[in-house]
Structure 1
Amino acid sequence: MLICTRKFLSYKILYFGALTLLCITLLDYVNENFDVSNKQFSEDDYSYSSQIKSFYSKHHEKENDNAFIKAISKYAKTIPKKFDNETDQRFIILALTDNAFFDMALNLYLTSFQKFGITNFLFVGVGKIACQNLLNLNIQCYYFTEASNSNESMAYGSRQFALKVNIRTDMIIEALKANYVVLHTDVDVMFLNNPMPYIEQQILKNSNMAVLWDYHEYNSGFLVIKPSKFSIELYMTMQEITNKSDSLDDQKALNMAIKSLRTKYKDNPEIVQIGILEKSKFLSGKNYFEEVDRNFPTQNGSNNCPSCLVMHNNWIKTMDAKVYRFKEALLWAVDKDRYYSDEKRKYLLYNNPFLNNPPNNYSTDKAELNALKTGFALAQMLNRTLIIPRFHCHGPKNPYECSIIHWIYVKELNKQFSYRENSFLLNPLVPKSIRKIRGCSEPIWTFIETNTSLGINDLIQNSYSKIVSIDLKNYTKVPEKVILKIFSNCDDKVLYVASLLGVEVVFDSANEKDKYLSFFYKLKLSQENQFKTAKELEMGIEPRAKGQLSIAIYGLAYPVATDLAA
């Protein structure tokens, strides 16, 4: 019994001795690495627990970096060396996305990567949802980090936008340090033709770094970077700049860093050699859409830019507007919620014809925006989806056509109405059962004064023999019950209306009228457009002047009088 007790005490002493030694060792390690001795901590200081957390966080980040590089390695393409003094290049395309930009990322994949058989790409996810959604579609994605606003699209120039896009700098630094050639692309980019042969044979051969020129500065959203001491220093400098100011995005930081390093290496300018991607092949949104008018597809469906390789859909503020511009140019391939392929949905399409002889004091913007309000009202009455017309932005005597994004903030419009872009019926995703039908057996109707005014109107240019011109005098506004009577027998997928200029309709229900008008009071109209900052005006009911119009209705005789928009 005594022997057992002594053995027990001996083991107990050894156990506590070892435990004490371990505690002393841990305390020495903490004091050495975290400097916590003789320090009074305030709320602004790092606490002991936060430093421990930081230690494990850094270790975890290192593990994540290794996993990120492994993911890059899995999908990178090897470009073999051509000469003995060269080395093989490992080439990866990186595109950062989050859940808010999931549709845009998917469009990039469908219209660019998949279309041209490009496989050396990796989507890099901010937030787990975006990556999981891509992986569910068998599209490669690596979950890189988390962000509180990963489900929200941020307007260009906002602080939240800067915080989100600056994650790209960290992503690129990791890839460069691992010795990968990086083609970084924003998800709002479109490959109009396959750029990879040109990039691999020309850019990588002749440049260490080549950037898309954004009209007046380097664009951080599409650039090719070889791993080098300079490229890593450049991106580390960008990181330092954005760490000091969370309102600066990576494009501002890129241009500031280039300027800073050019000053630093002014005696060795060859160090800071940054190429510009050929401007005729790699275009900003301003160059592509505005300098040459490509807002709508050509009649043969081409983009009227045979030499173009890449287009960056920028110089526009919101994601909603970017998506609309893609759709209108037939550059959108995402059929979310059967946006294109729903065969049960019915549509209403009208035109804004160019008037050869407009009335005196005729205001194009007022007349066409009032017609838009009427179009949405008609669509609501008839349970149809409105196909947006083209507009005339340069006044009544200029036939130039522009899209709705030049007038209306699309982000606000999307909150109020369901509609389709003007080019909708030309999209190959729309079933033939919808796009092949040309109007209904009753009317393609119009509210235009003379046949000569209908000359520039795609819908009725070959249909003059069917026009019946009638003077409609019974109503100052067309009641809903009249609209329903006129179109009650029209069951076609697309109801074509030649024009709604000078037309006003009214709901039978006061509640429906109030609800409809409240939608338009919420829309914001820019005196310029949503491409730049401008004073925003509430779009309400425009003042109207009395005026009689003849109304041409195919096969109908129904009297209505209208007020002509001032």
Structure 2
Amino acid sequence: MSPSYSLSRLRLPYLLAASATIVLSFIYLASPSTNCLTVSETNLTTFTSLQSTPSVPLAGTDFRKQVDPALSASLTPKLKDVASPAGNVMLAFATGNYLAVTRNFVHYVRTAGITNFLLVAMDQAAVDYAKEEGIPYYAYIDEEVAKLGGSDSYHSDGFRRVVNRRCKIISTSLRAGFHILQSDLDVVWLKNPFPFFFNGNYDYEIQSDGRTGFSEHDPAAPFREFVNSGIFYARGIPKMADFYDLLIDKVSKNPDRREQHLLNTIVEENLLGVRYRILNPLLYPNGFQYFSRDISNRAGVQPFCIHNNWVDGKHTKEYRFRELGMWTQDPPEYFDKEKTKYLVYYEPSVAHNGWNDVRGSLRSALALAKILDRTLILPKFYSHHGKDVVVTLDYFIDYDAFSAAFPNFREHSFLERMFPVPPKHIFHIDIGPSSLGPIPTEIPQVTFKAAGGFRGATDEEIKRWFAPYQDETILHLTSTFRRFHKFVDPAEDKAFGELLLKGLAPAPNIHNTASFVIKKLKEVAELKTGKPGYNCAHIRRGDFPSVHKGEKTVAEVAELLAEMMPTDEVIYIASDESGSYEFRKTFRERFPQAHFWDEYNRPWFEHLVDPELGESMRLGAIEQQVCKWGQKFVGNTRSSFTSHICYLRVSLGKTGDYVCRDIYGRSWPSDWAYY
């Protein structure tokens, strides 16, 4: 991830939290009050206590499990063999279908110098791996886990089976007096945490699963703290063993609820009076905080670990680790430079890093790679317009869909590792003044001019241009933005278009949020008009009035829209100025049923607007999905944002004015390709 975002832009609590946590890690606080607050437990943006507040002790319940003598007798010697003098043990749980991730995890555990580690092998494949690698292990084989498929997805029955048995191991270990640091396998440990943390001041220290810091607002867990069961440290005392017995009991009685949500309920109620704290997200970031918000790098802090969660499926996790250069399980042929030919392009500059332009560049690059039979090296992707905060592809795109449609690609960091030397020349496809930079001038260029001008080149042109360079291992292009127009063969062009539609499907977060807004809009429309349909408009402002002649004032645009849309129907308006009260007021005067994002924003969507970076480009992608399903749509033909909405509407079979009308009455070129 990118560390280049200005440190001065971060709010003070980020840095105070990190520095205070590091300093306080060397200080043993004697019997701290449960009401005391150190800087290390503050929210990243608000100073609120995140320590425990014990409630009335739990009584009159039968949740405490009887100790399993056989399990205790076989497990305890294994724990003793690896435990540190202080009684600390790191536990991780492995199944055979997750072995690649397990190998990667163990590599970094060893690299971090963590020696008090025990792998709990839950099937024979995991046992065989532990024996092969000489890893201390405890065999806890469950044929049902093997049959259900282990722990690939938290939605699966196999995952629930694993976490239930995991809790039993943890409870038994704690009742035997061992202090347990439990880690999921999708974690990379960069430093050994034991010398600096877990000094006895708390019964329980657990990772935040909040997207914006220590806390989270979520329909499934609407309380203040939102913790992650994948990384925690629990002291070996009866109270903590009771805690996990209680969790086992709740899981068995609530088969429709996730174990983590039930854990959060127990933490919130805290009927056992557990003294707990949430681990600092800068030092123990979850997958959203690290991969989507880049908080550790932005603060200039190296975390102890990186938890690759907040994404479903092991293949996406592997890709994200690859981008960090922290995936150790690819075979030698993955790095082949003899038989495999590559294609790479210079992504738009940070000033032009808007997702619509980046997606358009990716579309052309995928076509070029297909035409030239080359493996595409992905560009950088950015979360916020004009900000140098790098994210992975899955921030915007469904990774599983992308990798199924376009399997021949490499992560962006592959370029830096495998081709560190600048190329001897780069290729530039000249499409006229609409080119989007940057274009490196210090490297010799080979220039081709597209006959179609700003529309881009055809596959026949591309094949002809690059034929003399087919033996070069890697081809560098200055830019691919609008460089590809179409395949000359209509059938091939249609097939590629269908592949793009599948492969560039929105990420689940974008799809799910848009579905929520669409559902609410339809409910409002049904209530107001008796029909569930709604209309949409994209009103592009920002720099357009200053760079494009003929752009009118907001009031004038509202009048133009009123001439094109029924003013008494529900309309959703997407705009880069929709956050302005005056903007909304102007449109509501003409459209009483006008709706904007602010009305559908919910506390659990607050991560879409970062306090330091502003609005995430995910929000625009959400609004495009909302506009896709509108009955009628009006946009701006000069906007790539509008163009993509048209593309989505065409995919639904809409034609003519039902695809899009331009707010100024302009027409698209007859052979224009939406994307």
TM-score range, shorter chain: 0.5 to 0.7
2:290 is the counterpart of 1:288: yes
- Per the alignment, residue 45 of structure 1 pairs with none
User: For the structure 1 residues 187 and 452, does the alpha-carbon distance in structure 2 shift closer, same or farther, using more than 3 Å as the test?
Assistant: same
CA positional deviation for 1:240: 0.3
CA distance in 2 between counterparts of 1:153 and 1:426 reads: 33
2:468 is the counterpart of 1:489: yes
Q: Give the stretch that moved more between structures: 513-522 or 189-198.
A: 513-522
Does the 8 Å contact 1:454/1:461 carry over to 2?
Answer: no
Q: Give the stretch that moved more between structures: 143-152 or 467-476.
A: 467-476
* Pairing of 1:227-266 with structure 2 (within 5 A): 227-260=236-269, 262-263=270-271
CA distance in 2 between counterparts of 1:293 and 1:304 reads: 6
CA distance in 1 between counterparts of 2:367 and 2:448 reads: 24
Does the 8 Å contact 1:108/1:187 carry over to 2?
Answer: yes
- Per the alignment, residue 189 of structure 1 pairs with 187
- Per the alignment, residue 328 of structure 1 pairs with 323
Structure 2 counterpart SS, 1:206: coil
Aligned amino acid, residue 281 of structure 1: L
Does the 8 Å contact 2:292/2:395 carry over to 1?
Answer: no
1:375-413 deviation digits (Å, cap 9, x = unpaired): 223223322211112245545x66765432122110222
Equivalent in 61, 67, 71 of residue 74 of structure 2: 67
Does the 8 Å contact 2:204/2:232 carry over to 1?
Answer: yes
CA positional deviation for 1:279: 4.1
CA distance in 2 between counterparts of 1:337 and 1:414 reads: 20
How many percent of aligned residue pairs carry the same amino acid?
22
Does the 8 Å contact 2:403/2:503 carry over to 1?
Answer: no
Structure 2 counterpart SS, 1:496: strand
1:266-294 deviation digits (Å, cap 9, x = unpaired): xxxxx421233344422223333344467
Structure 1 counterpart SS, 2:195: helix
CA positional deviation for 1:183: 0.8
TM-score between both structures, scaled by the size of structure 2: 0.58
Aligned-CA RMSD value: 3.8
CA distance in 1 between counterparts of 2:196 and 2:343 reads: 44
1:237-272 deviation digits (Å, cap 9, x = unpaired): 001000112233332232222344x33x5xxxxx42
Aligned amino acid, residue 90 of structure 1: G
Equivalent in 90, 113, 120 of residue 116 of structure 2: 120
User: Which 5+ residue runs of structure 2 have no aligned equivalent?
Assistant: 1-67, 216-225, 516-621, 629-643, 651-659, 661-666
User: For the structure 1 residues 66 and 174, does the alpha-carbon distance in structure 2 shift closer, same or farther, using more than 3 Å as the test?
Assistant: same
CA distance in 2 between counterparts of 1:303 and 1:337 reads: 33
User: For the structure 1 residues 407 and 175, does the alpha-carbon distance in structure 2 shift closer, same or farther, using more than 3 Å as the test?
Assistant: same
CA distance in 1 between counterparts of 2:147 and 2:292 reads: 31
1:512-563 deviation digits (Å, cap 9, x = unpaired): 6565444334336237846965549699966798679xxxxxxxxxxxxx95
CA distance in 2 between counterparts of 1:508 and 1:165 reads: 54
User: For the structure 1 residues 274 and 304, does the alpha-carbon distance in structure 2 shift closer, same or farther, using more than 3 Å as the test?
Assistant: closer
Does the 8 Å contact 1:502/1:564 carry over to 2?
Answer: no
User: Which 5+ residue runs of structure 1 have no aligned equivalent?
Assistant: 1-60, 80-88, 266-270, 295-301, 428-433, 549-561
2:427 is the counterpart of 1:444: yes
CA distance in 2 between counterparts of 1:325 and 1:228 reads: 37
Does the 8 Å contact 2:113/2:191 carry over to 1?
Answer: no
CA distance in 1 between counterparts of 2:106 and 2:500 reads: 36
Aligned amino acid, residue 422 of structure 2: R
Does the 8 Å contact 2:171/2:245 carry over to 1?
Answer: yes
Aligned amino acid, residue 344 of structure 1: K
Does the 8 Å contact 2:429/2:450 carry over to 1?
Answer: no
Aligned amino acid, residue 187 of structure 1: L
Does the 8 Å contact 1:315/1:531 carry over to 2?
Answer: no
Structure 2 counterpart SS, 1:131: helix
2:499 is the counterpart of 1:519: yes
Structure 2 counterpart SS, 1:282: coil
TM-score between both structures, scaled by the size of structure 1: 0.68
CA distance in 1 between counterparts of 2:184 and 2:459 reads: 47
CA distance in 2 between counterparts of 1:167 and 1:450 reads: 63
2:329 is the counterpart of 1:339: no
User: For the structure 1 residues 387 and 239, does the alpha-carbon distance in structure 2 shift closer, same or farther, using more than 3 Å as the test?
Assistant: same
Does the 8 Å contact 1:405/1:530 carry over to 2?
Answer: no
2:107 is the counterpart of 1:129: no
Equivalent in 138, 145, 148 of residue 141 of structure 2: 145
Report how many residues are paired.
448
CA distance in 2 between counterparts of 1:500 and 1:398 reads: 21
CA positional deviation for 1:222: 0.9
CA distance in 1 between counterparts of 2:434 and 2:494 reads: 36
- Per the alignment, residue 376 of structure 1 pairs with 366
User: For the structure 1 residues 383 and 137, does the alpha-carbon distance in structure 2 shift closer, same or farther, using more than 3 Å as the test?
Assistant: farther
Equivalent in 378, 381, 393 of residue 404 of structure 1: 393
CA distance in 1 between counterparts of 2:256 and 2:315 reads: 22
Does the 8 Å contact 1:351/1:390 carry over to 2?
Answer: no
Does the 8 Å contact 1:209/1:274 carry over to 2?
Answer: yes
- Per the alignment, residue 196 of structure 2 pairs with 198
Does the 8 Å contact 1:351/1:497 carry over to 2?
Answer: yes
Equivalent in 419, 437, 448 of residue 435 of structure 1: 419
Aligned amino acid, residue 177 of structure 1: R
Does the 8 Å contact 1:477/1:504 carry over to 2?
Answer: yes
Higher Rg? 1
CA distance in 2 between counterparts of 1:322 and 1:250 reads: 21
Does the 8 Å contact 2:430/2:447 carry over to 1?
Answer: no
1:19-44 deviation digits (Å, cap 9, x = unpaired): xxxxxxxxxxxxxxxxxxxxxxxxxx
